[in-house]
Amino acid sequence: MNTLLVVDDEKSVRYSFERIFEHYYNVLTAEDGKSAIEVLDSNIDDIDVIFLDVRMPGMNGIEALKKIREKTINIPVIIMTAFSDSNIAIEAMREGAF
């Protein structure tokens, strides 16, 4: 079964992803960038895609994306945000996100 990693500080967003995809994918979650890196380190060979929020306390999504890319370039990362900002989108794409 394919595995998704959902990283968002909003519990309701993580829960929604789990409910939507649980019958089709193994869904792992993390509440911030630091936790995402820990989950990635433990599951790097299993994760097929990462959904990553931009605005989170502590390590934000762009910082987490940079650390993810230090570890692997093969896992697609999809950036999510409730706040539209073209500069963030450009920076995320430069770091290899979608």
The residue-averaged pLDDT of 2-11 equals 96
CA distance 33 to 20: 22
Say how many C-beta atoms besides its own lie within 10 A of residue 68's C-beta: 26
- pLDDT at res. 95: 73
**Residue predicted with more confidence, 13 or 98:** 13
- Where residue 46 falls (left for φ over 0; alpha for ψ -120 to 50; beta otherwise) is alpha
Quote the pTM value. 0.87
pLDDT score of 88 more than 90: no
Say how many C-beta atoms besides its own lie within 10 A of residue 70's C-beta: 9
Write out pLDDT tens, residues 16-75.
999 999 999 999 999 999 999 999 999 999 999 999 998 899 998 999 999 999 999 899
